[in-house]
Structure 1
Amino acid sequence: MDEEADPGYQFGLTQEQREALVLALNRGYFSTPSEITLDELANQLGITSQAVSNRVRLGTEKVLRSVLVSSASDF
């Protein structure tokens, strides 16, 4: 896949991080209250809950740094 065409590329996400974030978002992990647990996400991805936690946490950090830190000069 062309890196420029990958929607996660602009944030520096790995494919695994993007997959975990998209699944978490689509399944309601970020809703209040959460509609799915990390264990359930892990089962759907076929990985451990620790692995999905790391992917979601690190992926979220990359997106937030890209969006918030790069726009900090706007304030």
Structure 2
Amino acid sequence: MNSVLVITIDAEANTLEVVLTEEELKTRWIGWKAPPVRVTSGTLCKYQRLVSDASHGAVTNLLDIENLSLCGKAQ
């Protein structure tokens, strides 16, 4: 990857723009792997599983009990 990476952040419009070629995007997407879950039990696990991200209000979703059942189990 020898291309120049251009990132534009517009806090007022709530946008982040990355300028890459289609080829570069495909290469990055193919090579991407989700990071391992580091928290597997306890209160932080419950929080991670039940609370939405900040862009969705960081609210607790008590209806998502399936995710909560994963706490304390090997991932």
Shorter-chain TM-score: what band?
A: under 0.3
State the TM-score, normalizing by the size of structure 1: 0.25
Q: Which has the larger radius of gyration?
A: 2
Of Structure 1 and Structure 2, the greater helix share is in 1
State the TM-score, normalizing by the size of structure 2: 0.25
Greater relative contact order structure (CA < 8 Å, 6+ sep)? 1
Of Structure 1 and Structure 2, the greater strand share is in 2
